[in-house]
Amino acid sequence: QDNRISLWSTGDLGNVGLNGEYHGEPHLLCDIQHNGDVMDMQFLDQERIVVGSSTGTVTIFRHHQNNQTLSANHWWEKAHHHVDQDTSCGGAVCTGVVCNNPEIVTVGEDGRINLFRADQKDAVRTIDNADSSTLHAVTFLRTTEILTVNSIGQLKIWDLRQQRNEPSQIFSLAGDRVPLHCVDRHPNQQHIVATGGQDGMLSIWDIRQGTMPVSLLNAHEAEMWEVHFHPSNPDHLFTCSEDGSLWHWDASTNVSEKPSFLHQGGRSTTYFSHSTINQSVVSAWLSNDPTKDRMEITNLIPNQTLSVNSLDVLGPCLVYGTDAEAIYVNRQLFA
């Protein structure tokens, strides 16, 4: 198998046409061989990328901008592993990686949570058997707290300051323990958390209260692989799924105030208005009143065939990758 980490440039400003449309394709800057499947990756800083592999190894790659190359800077081999009955250490799949420079947290199919620091050779902390099932994803709640989701439908908060190997709080879904595959936290309001499940359901949680989700939204027809709040416009949420669709959830509150004939494709044109965000005391995500706030949901993929495995969003750009071995870049998300 030939798996590679590749760095692409989606073009220079010179390629912008009359309408500000982007012409030209993303082009490959550099790439490097990777051992095992790339399960998750995240930028640690401007130059370094942390990658979790299906072999259980966690690697930091450095991008050298002067000569456009990638090199493996540092790695923790068998960061995730199973202990076989004949005590041979088999690697276990690392399923999730999250960074908060210089700290890196990884989780895997072995139910282990690792805390690394970018400059240190060994793990700072390892919680063995943190979970009896597979941990599918991890994200930072606060600088010292992380959120994990597992395959028996539980959302757990871990306080890394404490030495005990127990989660400080456990949340779970009400009915069937459907595995949760992804988790993301609201950028500004840290008590709002979104998770996606194996049945394609999007759950919004308020971790200040209760142990069950605030709202359950029937979304995709198959596993939801990733969920992301837009980092600067958190009234927008993006989810992608095995069913081949990528949904844009628009919960900007002034959607309902406009008369419907002014909607242009259901997209709000004043999402930039900061005053709106500050005014909403209760975020649109937590509001339970369906008559008051309408959410616009758009499928961004016209001809869906194979699964959309991963997405990321920053500013006006959206990038996503599919099982048809294609990467799509949308640079005008809110146009």
Partner 1 sequence: PPQVVPGADPSARQLCFAWGPAEVLVCETRFGRAGRAGAGARVLTGSVADSAGEAPGSSRVFVVRRDQDIYIQTLRKLFNESHGIFMGLQRSEEELAGKSRKAQLVQVSKNYRSVIRACMEDMHQAAVSTRDPALQGQYSTQVSILSAMELIWNLCEILFVEAAAAGPLLLRLLDWVRLHVCDVDSMVREVLSSENPSKHKLFWNVVDVFVLQGRMDEARHLLSKEATANPTSMNMYKILDDLMKKMPMPSLGNTQTLTELELKWQHWHEECQRFLQDGTFASNPHMESICKILLGDEDAILEKKELMTTWYHFLVTRLLYSNPTVKPMELRFYAQSSMDLFLGGESSPEPLDMILMAAFEFEMHQVIKECSIVLSNWWFVAHLTDLLDHCKLLQSHNLYFGSNMREFLLLEYASGLFSHHSLWQLGVDYFDHCPEYGRVYLELHIERIPLNTEQKALKVLRICEQRQMHEQVRSICKIMAMKALRNNRLGSALSWSIRAKDAAFATLISDRFLKDYCERGCFSDLDLIDNLGPSMLLSDRLTFLGKYREFHRLYGEKRFPEAARLLLTLMTAHIAPCSFWMTLLTDALPLLEQKEIIFSAEQTYELMRCLEDLTAGNVDKQKFQEDDETTKVEMLRLALARNLARVIVKEGTVEGS
Nearer to partner 1, 28 or 314 (CB): 28
Strands (E), 11-164: 27-34, 38-43, 48-53, 58-64, 69-76, 81-83, 89-91, 94-100, 103-108, 113-117, 125-127, 135-142, 145-150, 154-159
Tokens 């099982």 -> residue: 323
Label residue 305 left, alpha or beta by phi (over 0 means left) and psi (-120 to 50 means alpha): alpha
Nearer to partner 1, 158 or 271 (CB): 158
Nearer to partner 1, 129 or 332 (CB): 129
Nearer to partner 1, 219 or 284 (CB): 219
DSSP 254: G
Label residue 213 left, alpha or beta by phi (over 0 means left) and psi (-120 to 50 means alpha): beta
Residue 53 CB, nearest distance to partner 1 (Å)? 10
Q: Give dist(CA 84, CA 104) in Å, integer.
A: 27
Q: Give dist(CA 181, CA 77) in Å, integer.
A: 24
Q: Residue 78, Cα to own-chain centre: how many angstroms?
A: 23
Residue 181 CB, nearest distance to partner 1 (Å)? 9
Phi, psi of 261, rounded to the nearest 5 degrees: -75, -10
Residue 134 CB, nearest distance to partner 1 (Å)? 5
Residue 288 CB, nearest distance to partner 1 (Å)? 23
Contact indicator for 231, 220 with CB cutoff of 8 Å = no
Residue 165 CB, nearest distance to partner 1 (Å)? 11
Nearer to partner 1, 155 or 255 (CB): 155
User: Which residues of the shown chain bind partner 1 in the complex (CB under 8 A)?
Assistant: 1-2, 37, 39, 54, 82-85, 90, 92-93, 95, 109-111, 129, 131-134, 150-154, 156, 167, 170, 172-177, 179, 198, 222-223, 242, 303, 305-307, 323-326
Nearer to partner 1, 121 or 164 (CB): 164
Residue 118 CB, nearest distance to partner 1 (Å)? 26
